[in-house]
Amino acid sequence: MSVVVPARNEEGFLGRCLDSILAQDYPAERMEVIVVENGSTDRTPEIAAAHAARDARVRVIRSEATNQAAAMNDGIVGAHGDVVARVDAHSWIPRDYVSIAVAALDRHPDAAGVGGPFTPAAETLVERVSGMARASRLGVGGGYGVDREMGDHAVATVQCGAYWRRALADVGLFDVAMAYGEDEEINWRLTQSGANIYLCPAMAQRYRPRASLRALARQYWNYGQGRFRVVMKHPGFLSVRHLVPSAFVLSVALLGCVALFVPLARVVLAGLGAAYAAVLVLAGVQAARVGWREALLVPPAIACVHFGYGAGMLWAAARRMGRSLGFPGREEAREWQYVMDRPRR
């Protein structure tokens, strides 16, 4: 087992992440931990080096990767294990996580990879609200993030999975053009090759949700752009629910413009707004089971998810259309700039 941890500017989280990996009940002689450090400007390299000095299972790879896909590829190339598990630096795993992953792969001979749910471990009110918005069916709307099936089952994608290394090599590793959506993209290629991806509820990773609504909106802005890149490369991945937030944002924008001149558009816009407000009120009522502050903050958090994702997908589509019409775009290095999926305060 090779556990790969991409890490850039993760000094507040990397230590806990590595401690949880090194505490696994899996045989120590059959596991290695590879930290892919790529351009940190904080104490991340020192923390990684300190763990490597204390435990021979830890290796640190200095990488020039510009995103997590490239960092994962560097880790996979340097790995020795038959199985490669991705654990992001801002997450941490229970003591039996690796054993469960290996058992799941053995249990499902048709599996290229397995993964589990992400459980929010909030330490502040806004982090708790962000986690609730992501877990709500009124927020994300379905998929592995809010999966309710109790047993192992085949899915389209998992986040931060554990894979047979040979399966990753056979499909060409992660696509480094995917600044976001890299998990979805490689899982799609794996399933199209004839293998399956399984969601195993026992394989839970804990993570710190976004610590501000602005950061949550930016997270889903990036996710929307990543989803657009995935569906442009693999049109078969697209489902109707992927388009709902973008259609809603576009409808609000167009109706808002037309309403300046057409009275009927004002009526339609008001009706759309009322229907959406009802959805947010329902989300608030559900959140009230936790507390009144959550009831007030979960609705705007869900709005951040919807509008961030929808606008991000539309922005990516507009940029692609602009390039096809000959308008200059940003430099590739800047366009695919590295932004780790981690909490921002």
The proportion of the chain whose per-residue pLDDT surpasses 90, expressed as a percent, equals 70
Long-range contacts of the stretch 327-336 (C-beta < 8 A, 24+):
333/66, 335/179, 336/66, 336/67, 336/176, 336/177, 336/179
Q: Is the pLDDT of residue 237 over 50?
A: yes
User: pLDDT digit string (tens) for 102-122?
Assistant: 999 999 999 999 999 888 888
Would you say residue 146 has pLDDT above 70? no
Structural domains of the chain in order of their starting residue, each with its CATH number: 2-209 (3.90.550.10), 214-335 (no CATH)
pLDDT tens digits, 3-19: 999 999 999 899 999 99
Cα-to-chain-centroid distance, residue 37: 19
Answer whether residue 275 shows pLDDT above 80: yes
Q: What b/e sequence results for 223-261 when a residue is b if at least 16 CB atoms lie within 10 Å of its CB, and e otherwise?
A: bbbbbbbbbeeeeebeeeebeebbebbbebeebeeebee
Mean pLDDT score across all residues of the chain: 89
Average pLDDT over residues 191-217: 92
Confidence (pLDDT) at 329? 55
Using a cut of 0.75, tell me whether the model's pTM lies above it: yes
Residue 156 predicted with pLDDT over 50: yes
